Every structure is written in structure tokens, then in C-alpha cells.
Chains A and B, each alone.
Chain A
Amino acid sequence: MSDLILPRRELIARAGGLVAAAGTMPLLSGCDAINDAPAVRKILSMGEEMNRASQRALTDRGALAREYSRADLSPVFRSNGTKLPPGAAYAAHAASGFVDWRLKVTGLVARPLSLSKADIRAMPQRTQITRHDCVEGWSAIGQWTGPGLGRILAAAGVRDGARYIVFRCADRIGGDLYYESCDMVDALHPQTIMAWALNGALLPIANGAPLRLRIERQLGYKHAKYVQGIEAVASLDGIGAGKGGYWEDRIDYEWYAGI
């Protein structure tokens, strides 16, 4: 989640015109023509699949992210992306202390759920002090509290065909709702929680109040904020542009953000 991201430039070259483009344009735009060629983009995306497949195959799928002590907390836990979701609806929720906020659990589940703040806090809670790594390069350590996503999914009874969990958010960036998704390995990981507290206090609005995802083995933009819907799906096709997340759809961030 970043406000540094610029809208993606239009593709300026096709693979076929690449050689001509590189020959006639100045060197720099030639380099960018290579960057934008569809064939090159296909090759570049192989790196993501190699990273995902090798991390899944060669490392322990249940390995825990390092947990820190209170002495390690960042003095200030900075926020990024949306700092205040626009619109009257969110403002009303915030004004009422999110009493009417619901987390809806839908899709390939046996029992669709609509969980209130009280429901979520009545579940077994997990508190963890972890490091948040932004794709931009910075890190901050914070303490998060919330129920495990696995418990919520178990309560809803995820059906066999579900392969991904999609997180629907209340914040719009450029008019479109933010969303993210992950596979079942990370969804059912013990440190994947729906957090409602940061550093022992209610989650601030800038950090995703009233509920945000913590998915500790991936980069910051995967940690969806202002979550109001969890959906179990068999495929990411047909959701957004089909790449599994807001930034993935728009600027080609990796869907697998474990590196």
C-alpha cells in the first residue's frame, strides 16, 4: 500500500516493434521499450513464480515469522497507503466506534458469517509482536492482537474447492475498492490474524481500523486494512482484473510477496 505509486504508463512497444524501437529511439527509451514489451513482461514474471514455488517447496510452510519483545517496538509505527478511507459511510462507522461494522465471511463456505466487533473479540485471540516490511524497503515493529484467520474460516466451514481467500476492504484508492488475496497456506498459518489492536490499543484508523489482516511472511501491501469481507474462492479469475489484488491489477506488483 503506497501513495508513492504512479499510474502505470501505457505500453509503448509491442514485441514485434521492439528491435526497430530500440534502434531508432534514444538508448533510454529503448530500455523502457524492452521493459514494456509483452514478451519481456512474461519472462520477468517467471521470477515471481520461481520465488513462490521455491519458498513453498524448500522451506517449512508452517515456519513462524520472528516474534519480538516489547523492547523492540518501533517508537512510531508509521502508516502507508490509505490513512483515512474517504466517504460518509466509513466516517459514520468511525464516529460510532465501529459498532455496526460487520466482517462478512462468504464464498465457498458451509456457513456464511457476519461477525460483529463483539463476535470477533469473543473468539480466542492471538497477540504477536512482528516486523512489518513494506515493499518500499522500510520496516516497523508492532504488536498485533486478533483472532486467527484459520479460526474464522473454521467457524465458517471452508469447502474443499476453496484455494484462495480474498479480503475485501472499505477503502477506495482512485475510486476502486482495495482488495487482496492469499493462498490457503498463508490463510491457515498460525500467525495470520485479523487484528483489531496495535501496541495494546484499538487499531488506529491510519493503520486499518477496525480490522486488518496480518499475514506475517509477506510484504506490507498484502496486509489488507479496513477489512469488511472475507471470501473463499476457487480461482482469482473474475475478481478485479484477476491478478489477486489492487496493486497487482494496476501496477504489476507480485501476487506472491514473500520476498
Chain B
Amino acid sequence: MAEAEPPVAPSPPAPPARVYRHRLPVRIWHWVNAVTLLVLLMSGLMIFNAHPRLYWGEYGANPDYAWLAIGSGPDMGFLRIGETRIDTTGVLGRWTDAKGVEQTWAFPGWATIPTTYSLADGRRWHLLFAWILSIALTLYMLWTLFGGHLKKDLHVHRAEWSPRHIWQDIKDHVRLRFPRGEAAARYGILQKLSYIGVIFVALPLMIATGLTMSPGMNAAWPWLLDLFGGRQSARSIHFITAWALVLFFLVHVAMVLLAGPVNELRSMITGWFRLPPERDDAV
């Protein structure tokens, strides 16, 4: 009797391929930036609390029209944008601090550095970390441009510019259908555009509008005032761009959580990323 053939065991799934996805400068800059931008945002909100009104043009003070204001009325706090007034009691304009005391500063203590009002300390944190941001960004831009990061990772290929491709990437993101296999090792078009936007548009804009608020720099480089339409316009653009960066952060973190936070975080710490296996229905 012939021996029965051993049952064929289904071959175990191949272990997910590991790829070296993030080089050291990317990882260092990412985490330096994470801390720096958090400090800049929270100390910036403290500075805003000193005068929670925004204007367009060269000048703007309490007697002038503010296009955005956070304030308080009796028993309420509000955010006003243009003529639209939103009740923000409890969060903006009127809130209760950790000791149970009602405060009428614009942004609440949990969002500012330090937690209790100090314009002086907010400025100290902001103006020191602005240096860290500027130096790190300059080095990172140079590395991106000349160290191959742009060419290797961020360069948008001709085919990627097609509206169809972009629309497909948008649809995939909305359906939370993230790339798998080899494709996951590369950035998608939306990722490339958002990272390029942060590195080459939003962060330089923050630094330039920040410098435009400096009376010393205004004298040295008066073209800054012309570029942004005046000091108060620069202050408004600084504020709007800060919230654009917060929006980027929220989407960025949401994507990390949805795409697999352990794998994503590990790759931003060690550099190594495990490629998610192809879907069964992959074509």
C-alpha cells in the first residue's frame, strides 16, 4: 500500500516585508518639530490672549474694526468672525480654570503656555522656540532639496498630477482604503502635496509673518510689510496659518491612527516599516 501523501499544509502567510521607510533626518526633524510646534502653538495662544482681536492693514487697536475677536459678555464667552457671533462659553472668552475660578481670557489655561496669564512668559517660550523651528526647518529644507528627500520621496511624478489620479487618492482616503504592499512604502499624491505644503509654504509663512510683527525687522526689511500688506495683516495671516497647521496635525494623526498606529509610530522612531499585506481582492 502506497503511503498516503502527507496532507498539504497551507503555506503560512509570508511575514510582512519590512522596508526602511524614514531616514534619520526625517525622524529627527519630525519629533523636534512635534515638540516645537506644540510649544509655539500654546505659547502663541497665550500671546493672542493679550489682545484677542485681529485686523487687516498696517494698524489695528481697540477703537478699530476687528475682523475676528474673542470676548466675553455677561455670563457668556464668544467668538466673533465678521458679523457672525458664536457662543463659546466654557471654551473661549469665558471658562473655568483648574481651581474653579471663572476667567475671561480668550483661550483657556489648558491650551496656553503658561496656564495662567503671562504675556511675558508666553513670549519667552514663543521667541526661543521660533529659533528652534527656523534653524531646524532651514536644515531640513536644505536636506530635502539637496539630500535626495525631494527627489526620492516627495517629487510628484507627471502621472500623479492627473486629476483622475488625485481624485482616486481622495476617494481612497475618504473610504479609508490605504495602500498596501509595496505601494505603502511610498507617499501618495495627497501626502506629498501636504508635506510639501507644510515644509515649503506653511512653516516659512509662519516664520515670515512672525518676523513681520517685529518692529526691528520692519525697519531692517521693510519689504516684509509690503509682502503681507502691513503688520496687522501679517498677524492675521500668522493666526490663520497656525490653525491650518493644527488642521494638518489633526488629519495627520487621524491617518496614523487609521493606518495602524504601532507600525506608523515605529517607522517614525526606528525607520523600519512593515508593509501591510496585499488585500485578497487586490487585482
A contact residues vs B (CB 8 Å cutoff)? 2, 4-6, 8-9, 26, 28-29, 31-32, 35-36, 41, 43-48, 50-51, 55, 58-60, 63-66, 68, 72, 74-76, 78, 131, 133-141, 216-219, 247, 251-254, 257-259
Question: With a CB–CB cut-off of 8 A, which chain B residues contact A41?
Answer: 124
Supply 18 further A-B pairs (C-beta < 8 A) apart from A133-B231, A134-B61, A138-B51: A28-B98, A41-B124, A44-B128, A47-B124, A50-B131, A51-B127, A72-B58, A72-B59, A78-B63, A131-B59, A131-B215, A131-B218, A133-B215, A136-B51, A253-B120, A254-B127, A259-B211, A259-B213
Question: With a CB–CB cut-off of 8 A, which chain B residues contact A216?
Answer: 215, 219
Question: With a CB–CB cut-off of 8 A, which chain B residues contact A59?
Answer: 216-217, 219-221
Do the beta carbons of B98 and A26 come within 8 Å of each other?
A: yes
Q: How many Å lie between the Cα of A5 and that of B119 in the bound state?
A: 8
**CB nearest to A256 among chain B residues:** B216
Interface size class of B (residues with CB under 8 A): 35 or more
Do the beta carbons of B219 and A64 come within 8 Å of each other?
A: yes
B contact residues vs A (CB 8 Å cutoff)? 47-48, 50-51, 53, 58-64, 98, 109-110, 113-121, 123-125, 127-131, 211, 213-222, 225, 231-232, 235
Do the beta carbons of B63 and A76 come within 8 Å of each other?
A: yes
14 contacts between A and B (CB under 8 A): A4-B50, A9-B116, A28-B109, A48-B124, A50-B128, A76-B64, A78-B61, A78-B63, A131-B231, A135-B123, A139-B232, A140-B61, A141-B59, A259-B217
A-B contact count (CB 8 A): 156
Give me the 10 closest cross-chain CB pairs, A-B, nearest first: A258-B216, A47-B128, A59-B220, A137-B51, A259-B214, A138-B61, A76-B63, A136-B50, A44-B124, A136-B51
Do the beta carbons of A68 and B114 come within 8 Å of each other?
A: no
Do the beta carbons of A44 and B216 come within 8 Å of each other?
A: no
Question: With a CB–CB cut-off of 8 A, which chain A residues contact B115?
Answer: 28-29, 31-32
Question: With a CB–CB cut-off of 8 A, which chain A residues contact B48?
Answer: 137
Question: With a CB–CB cut-off of 8 A, which chain B residues contact A2?
Answer: 50, 119
Given contacts A139-B232, A252-B120, whether A74 and B213 have CB atoms under 8 Å apart is: no
Question: With a CB–CB cut-off of 8 A, which chain B residues contact A6?
Answer: 116-118
Q: How many Å lie between the Cα of A218 and that of B213 in the bound state?
A: 11
Q: Which of A46, A131, A141, A217 contacts B216 (CB 8 A)?
A: A217
Do the beta carbons of B225 and A66 come within 8 Å of each other?
A: yes
Do the beta carbons of A60 and B216 come within 8 Å of each other?
A: no
Question: With a CB–CB cut-off of 8 A, which chain B residues contact A29?
Answer: 98, 115
Question: With a CB–CB cut-off of 8 A, which chain B residues contact A131?
Answer: 58-59, 215, 218, 231
**CB nearest to B97 among chain A residues:** A28
Do the beta carbons of A65 and B218 come within 8 Å of each other?
A: yes
Q: How many Å lie between the Cα of A35 and that of B43 in the bound state?
A: 11
Question: With a CB–CB cut-off of 8 A, which chain A residues contact B130?
Answer: 47
**CB nearest to B129 among chain A residues:** A47
Question: With a CB–CB cut-off of 8 A, which chain B residues contact A51?
Answer: 127, 216
Do the beta carbons of A251 and B120 come within 8 Å of each other?
A: yes
Min distance, Cβ A45 to any Cβ of chain B, angstroms: 7
Do the beta carbons of A66 and B222 come within 8 Å of each other?
A: yes
Q: How many Å lie between the Cα of A218 and that of B114 in the bound state?
A: 24
Question: With a CB–CB cut-off of 8 A, which chain A residues contact B123?
Answer: 135, 253-254
